Structure 1
Amino acid sequence: MLSTFPAPHAPTLLRRVALACCALAAVHCAAAEPAWMNTRLSPDERARLLERELTMDERYALVHSPLSLDLGPFKRPQGAPSTAGYVAGIPRLGIPALAESDASLGVVNPAGARPGDTATALPSGQALASTWNPALARLAGAAIGQEAHAKGFNVLLAGGANLARDPRGGRNFEYLSEDPWLTGVMAGASIAGIQSAHIVSTVKHFALNDYETSRNTYNAVIPDDALRESDLLAFQLAIERGQPGAVMCAYNFVNGEQACHSKTLLGNVLKGEWGYKGWVMSDWGAVKGVDAAHVLDHQSGEQLDKQVWFGAPLRAAVGAGTIPQARISDMVTRILRSMFANGLFDHPAVAAPIDVAAHGQLAQRVAAEGIVLLRNENKTLPLAADLKRIAVIGGNASLGVLSGGGSSQVTPPGTPPHIVGLGGNTQMDVFFRRAVFYGASPVDAIRARAGKAEVVFDDGRYPVSAAALARSADAVIVFGTQWNGENEDTPDLSLPQGQDALIAAVTAANPRTIVVLETGNAVAMPWLERSAAVLEAWYPGQNGAAAIADVLFGQVNPSGRLPVTFPASVEQLPRPQLPGFGLPPDSSYDIRFPEGADVGYRWFAKTGAKPAFPFGHGLSYTTFAVSDLKVEGGKTLTVSFAVRNTGARAGADVPQVYLRSAAGKPVTRLIGFDKVELAPGEQKRVSVTADPRLLASFDTAARGWRVTAGQYTVAVSANAADPGISGNAKVAGQLLKP
């Protein structure tokens, strides 16, 4: 597969002339290169040298950009690709254009604006997080980066690191988990993978973009220490580990400041305390005025704002002295610095072949590792080889596997996806609200692995008919789907369109019923106790059907673990009623976070409520045992232990290390994990050293992480609710920088 539009950066006239002159004079060509093209200099030095050469007009041209689509009244710039955003280059200085693509789950071709251009559609972010495999996250990121580079893109709007605070959040499927450590580690690995392909990746949406209902106007209210210990820690870890070239700020307000204008978030924390050197770009349509330029470096999707604030208004503000001219230089230097750091000058994005087959296999591996076996009564799974009749019911399982909607929607190669329009009241509704089913169907994948068994499908529209089919089958596989998309949340935890009633009827008719869930969030399961087995497959990407079938028939031993808690009901949540539900669109209201830093499993530990399935839960077709725990103290904790496969087949375990008490104070907090592949009877030793911030509380007055001296207890557990095996050690008191 080749790029479908010209690369944003070709060799400049300046360089061509220089090379020609060098060749004629038979001298070393490097001498004719501009100083900023000296790769022996640091990205900071190169950016400073180049920034000095820009005119003021050129500087202003780099700090705002349009949505690059022919969409309604919007027109893309001449010569630009159809994509999320485009910043024209400056040929006289060899500055490449910035061609920006949405890429949370693969390189996006928005609404098919580039005819025939497809890309690998990876599973959802929560599916990736369910693998608990940072190395796999890096491989997935690298595949996205390689495809983007081969298509001429050099900036990817990826790296979602918001915590999943509420299982009704519409974009949770793009994010990763409810835990700062798991999120930071996995997001950082994905970002590093993307940028290994000489691409700038963002990390987004900074911060507390937890809801889609009135996302432009709600105000997230949370104490500073709680924010630092939860959502901001996830971003901090992702930035430290992935070194993203850009941060994308959020639509919402945080403690009264609009996120893209926030001097607290962007100025004091991100650029100040964390020393972030890249640039901050706005989300599309998130800039409310020119004053954002005090901390924001780039206005993105400028047509979606009331004005091009970083055009004429910014020039006027600099002329009036309300924004220093030095700030414009800083904005531009940050952009150039990330471009140099990630190879955009030295390794320009050019058309190249893409290994579609290899990337498809990778997508299938992520899907398979991310499937979580939630329940498996009487070893119902894997399915036996001697079945005579298998009923497959519901979930559009004859069409494909479901994907999430919005700006992350990818168009995969191969069989065109099936699109079910959901309608709406605005042009944006029509653009975003499409249920897209990928690839080969689960029905076909099941038939391919079922041997001599007859596989019969029922669409599930009528529970009575589905139940009748279920009674006649040796095994039943019923699919439940939940479509989530950008710009809307779900009002509750049910499966929509009466699917819970369907599954209840089928499980009542046949006790050998396996439920396969394709969802963007945790869901309630009123039919759970009647089911024989439950698989959470999330949105499993373009090869998800094959991955699901492989797990069902035992060709893959499931190793996924939940990255979020599955509550038993909405009453167990910190906010039982969905914030903003029933209010007019774009209503201004406060969302208070009584859980503070106790997100997800920590809230359940605090309240004592029993979830349907705890964070970290996941079953296998084999068994594991942990032993020989050793805990060493000092400035942090180092925890080592042995893991043995005690079953009859190969599999992967995910031992999780939780802090259970800190200097005498009860606490539940994930401080480390590993993924361990083991043959039957094999044993390996695992060692985890905790980041000291995970042992600390954030001291707002001292502006740092305070570790209290004392005895610390840890447990190596199968999930957050499992007591596991425990040990303790003494930790020294200290105050760490913020």
Structure 2
Amino acid sequence: MWTLPAVPALGLRSIVMSDGPIGVRGGAWSAADPSIALPSPTALAATWDIGLARRAGALLAQEARRKGVHVLLAPTVNLHRSPLGGRHFECFSEDPLLTGELAAGYVNGVQAGGVAVTVKHFVANDFETERMTANVVVAERALRELYLRPFEIVVEKARPFGIMTAYNGVNGTTMSEHGELVDGVLRGEWGFDGVTVSDWFGARDTVRAALGGLDVAMPGPRTVYGPALVRAVEDGRLPEAVVDEHVGRVLELARRTGAIEGAEPPAVAEIDGEALAREVAARSFTLLTNSGGLLPLGRDRRIALIGGLAKEARVMGGGSAQVFPGHVVSPLDGLTAAGLDVTYARGADPSAKLPPARFALRATAFDADGAVLGEVEQPDGAVLWIGRPPAGIDGERLAAVTVAGTYVPETGGPHRFAVEGIGAYRLTVGGEVLYDGTVEPDGDDPFGLFFTPPQTVVPIELAAGRPVEVSLTHRVLRSRRTPLPAVAFALAHREPVLDDDALMAEAVAVAAAADVAVVVVGTSKEVESEGFDRTSLRLPGRQDELMARVAAANPRTIAVVNAGSPVEMPWRDRVASILLTWFPGQEGGHALADVLLGAEEPGGRLPTTWPATLEDCPVVNCTPENGELRYDEGVLIGYRAWDRAPAEPAFAFGSGLGYTTWSYEHAAYADGTLTVELRNTGDRPGREVVQAYLSPTAPDPARPARWLAGFAVAEAAPGTTTTVTIEIPRRSFATWTPTGWTPHPGPHTLTAAHSLTTPKLTVTVTTIAP
């Protein structure tokens, strides 16, 4: 599932691959081997900090080396074309330059540690609906200026060891067979010298894939390569020289990652993963409003902390990006650990589903005769084994898995347990059988069967303090419908809670009695995950109502938005502060306390535009029709499209506030470099993201009104000045035409800005370097 086999005669060790991008899961998809969980890529992009991205990559290399992984299946550099894109959280930005520069930093960090990347998904895989079969119809100019551009930047600045081809087709050709883009553009024009890997089950035809430049078809061995590739050569359908080229690149990958005799990966410095996860989270948090300077808070404030997500934090997106952290710090954990005066109320939940059980559990694997194959500890009730099972468990003999433990209720009353997954289950609590039956799938997407399975809830009365034995046994599903060799199910649980109306009333009362209300709202895995696109930008459940009612009860309400991609905020003008925490990784609760108290400044700036409503968005559709998804908007996506839209977004690209103020003193341009001098005019140290936008001095209907041409992070103490230099790529002055890249010699206006809509200084560029 995740490895290439060893070839001892060549001194070649098995090459191990693992999903990222926020952590390194390892060769087994199991909680038995925990991983550091960093914030989501949208969070990392919100830092606009290439150096921080490189440090994150270095940590992931350290994690990969610890787990024996040679190839990290990351980063994702597809674009935020539509806010409905299901893997929006796993991509960086709507802008190709910001995406490419941050991804290059990430890749350089990973590969400096002797670990390969596979930059993905090449190319135009910006949607989930019918992603394995859809054909994207996109004009050459948009393909070059937007969708290929991040890959080109990474190849130029980071020399990635691998690139993953996408499931979809582009202009009629499946990407795993797209010789024009793989061998012609990627290898021929850009000089990429690494390995190409198919997305899992994405290779379709032996000869077409081999001739189209695909080196490795995953997973194996039952794929279009392996024995099928041998037969194609023997039958004369494929020249052996083509296979030699693929083999040579795989051997070079082994050399670069130390997977072959005589090649050892470099030594790496030890990195504190928890500290870096906390730092990235704080720097990613994006403060959008802060009426009356409510933030940062004083320690003497009485805080009402409200929301289901404040206690049961969502720290990562769903799908193949999931890892298993050793611990998760929720907002409630973080504020409590900081010694704050906190009163918690649930208020409302983003999902009607119960969360995985959180008491001490173990998972035991059995064969068909009931013999124990292995046992592993479970940090929670969610079992997700894809590929090789943990702890040496023989996957061929695996017939059943039991999750069991002793639960001691803190509260007596009507507890709820749930079976989550498809297949046959038997659930017992305190010796009573609560469920014994089979759960049928409720959808057709095979990946959805694992990432968002159905849940069956059963109630039981339990007494406080009285231990009960809980056991859930799953008979392992073996079906041709599921493309992955996997065990995926969960034991879920929730303690007694008030009904929805009572929870809402309790939250309002708690907020009214506090100095400040901090309300955490966000998305659930049912609405934001791999495997499907979103259908709405509304917060699920009654969270909008919760926010509006709390804000009415306490004008000092801080909205903390725990989502990986844009959501509508109809209450945004009624709260004092809005703080985006994205999917903040395992240390998100500590980072939240740091930012609320001012120990850290919220360093984030929006890497994508946040609309007021979905209906306002200029580009929305990500649903193919008759197998085709047309990118008819051309180069006008993201802020490029908003500049021509009749509606204004809620928050523009690049927006975000800090805890200090800045004066932009001077800007000058020479020899491809913009120099900006600015001064910290506040009373505390701060960070500013200086953004450079280029625009034609005379409006040009053939080009966007403006586009990001560069950026840099500035730091300064109170009252002091600092200078940043921003490289303005020559490509920024060019557009793609039938004859290739064609420069527009000017004049152009170059603007140093705090955000897209807050310009500070401008200079005129009349010539560009040849």
Q: What interval of TM-score do these two structures reach, taking the shorter chain for normalisation?
A: 0.7 to 0.9
Partner of 2:321: 408
Structure 1 or 2: more helix by fraction:
1
Q: Is the 8 A contact 1:88 1:98 kept in 2?
A: yes
Partner of 1:25: none
Cα distance in 1 for partners of 2:181, 2:542 equals 43
Work out which of the residue numbers 496, 509, 520 in structure 2 matches 1:468: 509
- CA-CA distance at 1:465 after TM superposition: 2.9
Q: Is the 8 A contact 1:491 1:578 kept in 2?
A: no
- CA-CA distance at 1:267 after TM superposition: 2.4
Distance 1:313 1:495, change over 3 A: same
Q: Is the 8 A contact 2:12 2:254 kept in 1?
A: no
Cα distance in 2 for partners of 1:90, 1:692 equals 46
Partner of 1:96: 13
Root-mean-square deviation (Å): 2.6
Partner of 1:450: none
Offset from partner CA, 1:683-725 (integer Å, 9 cap, x none): 11112121111221012x22x3211222111111111122332
Partner of 2:448: 429
Distance 1:177 1:458, change over 3 A: farther
Q: What is the TM-score of this pair, normalised by structure 1?
A: 0.79
Secondary structure in structure 2 of the residue aligned to 1:146: helix
Q: Is the 8 A contact 1:154 1:349 kept in 2?
A: no
Secondary structure in structure 2 of the residue aligned to 1:480: strand
Q: Is the 8 A contact 2:747 2:764 kept in 1?
A: yes
Cα distance in 2 for partners of 1:480, 1:458 equals 19
Distance 1:107 1:733, change over 3 A: closer
Q: Which runs of no fewer than 5 residues in structure 1 stay unpaired? A: 1-66, 68-84, 436-456, 581-586
- CA-CA distance at 1:116 after TM superposition: 2.5
Cα distance in 2 for partners of 1:545, 1:538 equals 12
Q: Is the 8 A contact 1:373 1:535 kept in 2?
A: yes
Cα distance in 2 for partners of 1:707, 1:188 equals 24
Distance 1:686 1:472, change over 3 A: same
Asked if 1:651 corresponds to 2:686, the answer is yes
AA aligned opposite 2:165: C
Distance 1:267 1:349, change over 3 A: closer
Mapping for residues 63-212 of structure 1, pairs under 5 Å = 67=1, 85-109=2-26, 113-114=29-30, 116-212=32-128
AA aligned opposite 1:223: A
Q: Is the 8 A contact 2:518 2:559 kept in 1?
A: yes
Partner of 2:744: 708
Q: How many residues align?
A: 613
Partner of 1:725: 761
- CA-CA distance at 1:497 after TM superposition: 1.7
Asked if 1:337 corresponds to 2:373, the answer is no
Distance 1:322 1:572, change over 3 A: farther
Partner of 1:13: none
Mapping for residues 528-547 of structure 1, pairs under 5 Å = 528-547=572-591
Cα distance in 2 for partners of 1:104, 1:596 equals 29
Mapping for residues 513-524 of structure 1, pairs under 5 Å = 513-524=557-568
Offset from partner CA, 1:644-702 (integer Å, 9 cap, x none): 10001111000100002167636311111111111101111112121111221012x22
- CA-CA distance at 1:517 after TM superposition: 0.8
Distance 1:685 1:458, change over 3 A: farther
Partner of 2:286: 372
Cα distance in 2 for partners of 1:354, 1:276 equals 28
Q: Is the 8 A contact 2:306 2:517 kept in 1?
A: yes
Cα distance in 2 for partners of 1:606, 1:418 equals 49
Cα distance in 1 for partners of 2:116, 2:268 equals 20
Offset from partner CA, 1:377-407 (integer Å, 9 cap, x none): 11111113332x3111113312334321111
Partner of 1:314: 229
Offset from partner CA, 1:299-358 (integer Å, 9 cap, x none): 433469xx62113332232234332211101111112223324444455579x99968x1
Partner of 1:241: 157
Q: Is the 8 A contact 1:393 1:460 kept in 2?
A: no
Partner of 1:63: none
AA aligned opposite 1:523: V
Partner of 2:488: none
Partner of 1:679: 717
Q: Which moved more, 1:151-160 or 1:311-320?
A: 311-320
Offset from partner CA, 1:524-579 (integer Å, 9 cap, x none): 11111101101100010010100011111111111111111001122232344552
Mapping for residues 588-603 of structure 1, pairs under 5 Å = 588-603=626-641
AA aligned opposite 1:477: V
Secondary structure in structure 2 of the residue aligned to 1:270: helix
Q: Is the 8 A contact 1:89 1:95 kept in 2?
A: yes
Mapping for residues 18-97 of structure 1, pairs under 5 Å = 67=1, 85-97=2-14
Distance 1:517 1:422, change over 3 A: farther
Cα distance in 2 for partners of 1:563, 1:672 equals 13
Q: Is the 8 A contact 1:260 1:287 kept in 2?
A: yes
Work out which of the residue numbers 571, 578, 595 in structure 2 matches 1:551: 595
AA aligned opposite 1:432: F
Q: Which moved more, 1:460-469 or 1:620-629?
A: 460-469
AA aligned opposite 1:431: F
Cα distance in 2 for partners of 1:459, 1:199 equals 50
Cα distance in 2 for partners of 1:272, 1:576 equals 34
AA aligned opposite 1:628: H
Q: What is the TM-score of this pair, normalised by structure 2?
A: 0.76
Secondary structure in structure 2 of the residue aligned to 1:566: coil
- CA-CA distance at 1:502 after TM superposition: 1.6
Cα distance in 2 for partners of 1:271, 1:156 equals 21
AA aligned opposite 1:656: Q
Distance 1:574 1:319, change over 3 A: farther
AA aligned opposite 1:331: H
Distance 1:101 1:92, change over 3 A: same
Partner of 1:9: none
Asked if 1:564 corresponds to 2:608, the answer is yes
AA aligned opposite 2:687: A
Distance 1:204 1:121, change over 3 A: same
Q: Is the 8 A contact 2:294 2:577 kept in 1?
A: yes
Structure with greater contact order relative to length (CA < 8 Å, sep ≥ 6): 2
Q: Is the 8 A contact 1:169 1:210 kept in 2?
A: yes
Work out which of the residue numbers 350, 359, 384 in structure 1 matches 2:273: 359
Distance 1:663 1:547, change over 3 A: same
Partner of 1:328: 243
Q: Is the 8 A contact 1:214 1:588 kept in 2?
A: no
Cα distance in 1 for partners of 2:46, 2:741 equals 29
Cα distance in 2 for partners of 1:163, 1:458 equals 42
Cα distance in 2 for partners of 1:709, 1:541 equals 45
Cα distance in 2 for partners of 1:115, 1:349 equals 27
Cα distance in 2 for partners of 1:547, 1:487 equals 30
Structure 1 or 2: more strand by fraction:
2
Mapping for residues 158-307 of structure 1, pairs under 5 Å = 158-290=74-206, 291-302=208-219
Q: Is the 8 A contact 2:83 2:620 kept in 1?
A: no
Q: Is the 8 A contact 1:504 1:527 kept in 2?
A: yes
Cα distance in 1 for partners of 2:298, 2:381 equals 31
Q: Is the 8 A contact 2:688 2:714 kept in 1?
A: yes
Q: Which runs of no fewer than 5 residues in structure 2 stay unpaired? A: 329-378, 383-417, 422-440, 455-496
Mapping for residues 456-495 of structure 1, pairs under 5 Å = 462-483=503-524, 484-495=528-539
Cα distance in 2 for partners of 1:209, 1:551 equals 35
Query: Taking every aligned residue pair, what percent have the same amino acid on both sides?
Result: 38
